Amino acid sequence: MGGFFGAASKRDVVMDVFFGVDYHSHLGTRRAGMIFCDEGGTGFQREIHSIENTPFRTRFEDDLPGFHGRSGIGCISDTDPQPLLVRSHLGTFALTTVGAINNAEALVEAYFSGGGKQFMAMSSGEVNTTELVAALINQQGDFVSGIKFAQEAVEGSLTLLVMTNDGTIIAARDRRGRLPVLVGEDDDGHCISFESFAYHKLGYRDAYELGPGEIVRVDAEGFETISPAGPDMKICAFLWVYYGYPNSNYEGVNVEVMRYRNGAIMARDETARNTLPDVDYVAGVPDSGVPHAIGYSSESGAPFGRPFIKYTPTWPRSFMPANQDVRNRVAKMKLIPVPELIREKRLLFVDDSIVRGTQLRGTVDYLYESGAAEVHMRSACPPIMFGCKYLSFSRSRSEMELIARRVVQDLEGDEGQRHLDEYADASTERGKCLLSSICKQMGFDSLGYQSLDGMLEAIGIDRDKVCTYCWNGRE
> In the complex, which residues of this chain contact ligand SF4 (CB under 6 A)?
178, 236-238, 388, 390-391, 393, 467, 469-470
Q: Of 434 and 467, which CB lies nearer to ligand SF4 in the complex structure? A: 467
Nearest distance from C-beta of residue 418 to ligand SF4, angstroms: 20
Encode burial over 440-461: b for 16+ CB neighbours within 10 A, e otherwise.
eebebbbbbbbbbebbbbbbeb
The CA distance from 322 to 336, in Å, is 22
Min. distance of Cβ 392 from ligand SF4 in angstroms? 10
Identity of the residue, 179 or 302, whose beta carbon is nearer to ligand SF4 in the bound complex = 179
Query: Smaller CB distance to ligand SF4: residue 237 or 380?
Result: 237
Coil, helix or strand for 48? strand
Within 8 A by CB and 6+ apart from 35, the residues are 44, 45, 46, 72, 73, 74, 83, 85, 94, 163
For the beta carbon of residue 1, count every other beta carbon within 10 angstroms.
Answer: 26
- Preceding peptide of 365 cis, ω within 30°: no
Kindly state the smallest distance separating residue 237's Cβ from ligand SF4, in Å: 5
Per DSSP, the three-state class of 225 is strand
Q: Which long-range contacts (CB under 8 A, 24 or more apart) does 313-316 make?
A: 316/55
Alpha carbon distance 158, 321 (integer Å): 25
Closest separation in Å from C-beta 393 to ligand SF4:
5
* Interatomic CA distance for residues 217 and 235, integer angstroms: 22
Cβ proximity to ligand SF4, 18 vs 393, nearer residue: 393
CB of 448 to ligand SF4, least distance (A): 20
Amino acid (one-letter) located at 55: P
Identity of the residue, 34 or 424, whose beta carbon is nearer to ligand SF4 in the bound complex: 424
Q: Residue 156 Cβ, how far from ligand SF4 at the closest point, in Å?
A: 10
Q: Note whether 382 and 420 are within 8 A (CB).
A: no
Nearer to ligand SF4, 159 or 437 (CB): 159
Residue 354's φ and ψ, nearest 5 degrees, are -120, 110
Nearer to ligand SF4 (CB atom), residue 301 or residue 473: 473
Nearer to ligand SF4, 393 or 444 (CB): 393
Report, in Å, the least distance between residue 190 CB and ligand SF4. Answer: 27
Residues whose CB falls within 8 Å of the CB of residue 12, separated by 6 or more in sequence, listed in order: 68, 69, 70
- Indicate the residue among 7 and 467 with the shorter CB distance to ligand SF4: 467
Nearest to 150 by CA among 335, 451, 158, 462: 158
Which residues does 472 contact at the CB level (< 8 Å), separation at least 6?
Answer: 385, 421, 424, 452
Cβ distance to ligand SF4 smaller for residue 151 or 300:
151
Smallest gap from Cβ 245 to ligand SF4, in A, equals 16
Q: Within 13 Å and on the Cβ side, how many CA atoms surround 189? A: 24
Least separation, in Å, of the C-beta of 289 and ligand SF4?
Answer: 17
Sequential DSSP letters for 281-349: EEEE-TTTHHHHHHHHHHHH-PPB--SEEE-TTT---SS--SSHHHHHHHHHHHEEE-GGGTTT-EEEE
Q: How far is the CB of 463 from ligand SF4 (least distance, A)?
A: 12
